[in-house]
Homo-oligomer: A and B are copies of this chain.
Amino acid sequence: MKIALAQLNYTIGDFEHNKQKIVACIDEAKKQSVQLVVFSEQAISGAPAYDLLNKVSFLNLCEETLQEIATHCEGISVLIGLPVQGANKTISVAALIENGRIKRYVGKQTILSRDEMCYISPSKGCEYIKIAGKKIAVVVGEDIRTEQQYGEYTDIIVNLCNSTYSRGIVEKRYDFYRQLAFMTGKPIVYVNNVGGQTDVICDGSSAFINSRGEAIALLKSFEEDFQIVDCDADNEPIKFPKQNKTVNVFKAIRLGLKDYFSKNGFKKACLGLSGGIDSAVVLSMAVEALGPENVRVLLMPSQFSSDHSVEDARTLAENLGVEYQIVPINETFAALTTTLGPVFGELPFDVAEENMQSRIRGMMMMAISNKFGNVLLSTANKSEIATGYGTLYGDMVGALSIIGDLYKSEVYDLARYINRDKEIIPINTIIKAPSAELRLEQKDSDSLPPYDILDAILYRMIEEGQSREEIINAGFDEEEVYRVYNMVLTSEFKRYQYCPTLRLSTCTLGINRHLPLTNKYGY
């Protein structure tokens, strides 16, 4: 039997567009005498669709599109995912189309993703179908993780999934499916979505694994792909490609950024360039995803900016061939402080004035965004967002955060990867001590622990959920642990108002980590 794996990049709610892609694959499969084409979970709608999953008109369009797809399925079988109205709430199903007719739905039982919990309700789970004489176990989404018993006469397990990217997931997912194939002694086909949906990125990486846990087909990561496997043939196993976390993060950000722009009809981006590592990496990624002609930057030095900052920023813009302008903030800052003089009286320079500088820059970037229609990219990193080191409405402004799920040390890893062939990001940007440059001689290390220690504490706190005591027992300084914990807790209100952040881990700060702002417990 020939099975086709169709790993496509869908747009949420763009039924016509999604249908055309799907039908093109079915047509190609028919040409190549394929018996079964497998698409991913919620392919017809795109995912995650959130509140749209509660709208009857949205679900109706999903089923109408399925009907239209079915008319293209003469002489072929198709398994394709979509959300449909269940008894009470919406369910996620794999529809089986045979010879132009919709034969049945196989529902999903296990709802693990917070993106779905409020919308999708559990359905029956794994069911068996017969195609070309083979008994196929059809499994939707995370049911593959709970359903471990398959009938003795099962020939193939087919899993339609929507597995989002997070650091290290590609290799972990390969391992999971290999082990499952080996343990059950059944070949497994799984087809994943690929592409960015606002902050969510699916990496694809679909595969056909034989009953010995070897790969027979491996679809691309971070790209669309379509492959056909003759599962009765004597297929030569393929080596699983070695994964590099930084390379995958690079590809994930590029895909997420590209799709955010193309799917929303945006073309041009803008950002503020400080000479520091964060904006350097964001600019490099923007140029990578959108092209230098679609990115513009402002350099906004103040009296506290060092010469090398402006120089480094300028060099980077020139290395990348990006339009830049230098717009000092001094005059606006002076006007603002003069105006507020009678209100502030004799009070000394403090965080208010530091933040004013950051907010003038935010305001200038938004003016560029409004005037020229450029979408502003946030340059904040995860260490900064976690500790509240960024200024709300200042350097935290932006429509999309592309490195907001990377700790500072991971931002450096990415910078070194960007420079893999030649020096794009000036080496000085990478080696100098980080500084917000909002007052004289300021260094990040004045108010934060060194980044290697900070990141290690944050990682234990956020990704591993460790308590203060556990982190201290692991050898970290007690005072520093308490200070970091406290910074994270008291800055929750800033994250509440932060823009969508491309998810590169399982613990992205923001909308998917929800602490009550009124909370005496801490975390």
Residues of A at the B interface (CB closer than 8 Å) are: 11-15, 17, 48-52, 55, 57-58, 61, 114, 117-118, 196-198, 259-260, 263-264, 298, 325, 327-329, 331-332, 334-336, 338-340, 342-344, 347, 350-353, 355-356, 359-360, 362-364, 366-368, 370-371, 392-393, 397, 399, 465, 467, 493, 496-500, 511, 513-523
Contacts and interface: CB of A to CB of B under 8 A. Distances in A.
A359 B355 contact: no
A14 B520 contact: yes
Contact of A118 (B118, B263, B362): B118
Nearest to A355: B370
27 contacts: A12-B518, A13-B522, A51-B513, A52-B521, A58-B521, A114-B118, A197-B516, A198-B516, A198-B518, A327-B342, A331-B339, A332-B335, A332-B339, A334-B335, A336-B364, A340-B364, A344-B371, A350-B371, A352-B367, A355-B367, A355-B370, A356-B363, A356-B367, A360-B363, A366-B393, A393-B397, A497-B498
Contacts of A114: 118
B392 A367 contact: no
A264 B523 CA distance: 15
B500 A52 contact: no
A347 B371 contact: yes
A523 B55 contact: yes
A343 B516 contact: no
Contacts of A520: 11-14, 17, 263
Contacts of A397: 393
Given A343-B371, A356-B367, 9 more contacts: A13-B520, A118-B118, A197-B516, A198-B518, A325-B342, A339-B364, A343-B368, A355-B370, A393-B393
A355 B364 contact: no
A204 B264 CA distance: 44
A298 B521 CA distance: 35
B13 A519 contact: yes
A323 to B, nearest CB: 10
B343 A336 contact: no
A237 to B, nearest CB: 37
